[in-house]
Amino acid sequence: MDWNKTKTIFIIVFAILNVFLYSLYVNRYTEVKRIDVQGETKIEERLKMDGITYPKLPEIETASFASGEVWVFDPKEVKDAKGQTLRLTDDRGTIVGVPKEPVSIKGEDGKLDFGGLLDKYVKNGSDYKLWKADEKKREAVFFQTIDSLPFYFNQSSTLTVHWNEALEVTDYQQRMMDEIVLFNQEKDLFPPIQAINALYSRGYLKTDSTITKVEMGYSPLVQLTKTQVFAPTWHIHVKLNDGTSEDFFVNAVDGKVLDKLPEQIIEEDG
């Protein structure tokens, strides 16, 4: 490892992060007051009046920013592949795998089970968490994690799996990060109920909708060529009255609603 280069990268990252944190310090008090200026009625009561329900909320009060390096796959991994055929993209940032023998994803309970693929074929497969499985498209998307917390829609750390009608894997595309670290200093977080309030105050939560999930993860904050920085982020999954569902993301440090994450835009446009 080139320590001088690594040190320079971290100096740049910390400088950018310090600027961001200063802006949070300036804006956070104003943001909290703006959200709370809706009268004396508590958010819990307003949600109840609108028929909006939510589950037990996480009790996470502090968290750190995270950073990671974009992984470049070694051609030697392709040559040493066992039980599958591997190939790399030109930039070596993505590896594509095709199992030589059928790999079933049909679980005993009839649900999809990707455990066999992740354990035996995917590099560091246990670090990936399922985000969405589309049975019509026969495609599943996984996000890489740190301490079981996912990096939401980060193009450098996703795993995409495809399968056939027999529920056997046809191929997968993997991208990953390495040298993932959490910054030492933890930051106070917006409570989950305030993240919900941020959505409510902007009209994102419709009457009689059901919040089915509130969980912590990370969203892209700074994306350099190789080094990336991530902010703690609340993911809020909402089921609407018409049966459809939506996913919302709120920066857990400054309370800002993230309208679109980079990969969400790519996914919708693609």
Residue 95 confidence (pLDDT) above 70: yes
Structure tokens given for 5: 């280069």
Per-residue pLDDT tens digits for 145-186: 999 999 999 999 999 999 999 999 999 999 999 999 998 789
Cα-only R_g, the chain: 21
Residue 110 confidence (pLDDT) above 90: no
Ordered domains of the chain (ranges, CATH): 3-65+183-269 (2.40.128.690), 70-179 (3.30.310.160)
Model confidence at 17, in pLDDT bands (50, 70, 90)?
low
Residue scoring higher pLDDT (28 or 228)? 228
For range 104-115, the mean pLDDT: 93
Residue 119 confidence (pLDDT) above 90: yes
Q: What is the rounded CA–CA span in Å between residue 1 and residue 9?
A: 13
pLDDT > 90 fraction of the chain, expressed in percent and rounded? 72
Q: What is the rounded CA–CA span in Å between residue 96 and residue 80?
A: 14
Q: Is 250 exposed, middle or buried (0-12, 13-18, 19+ CB in 10 A)?
A: buried
Q: Are 68 and 228 in contact (CB under 8 A)?
A: yes
Residue 26 confidence (pLDDT) above 60: no
Backbone angles phi, psi at 108, to 5 degrees: -65, -30
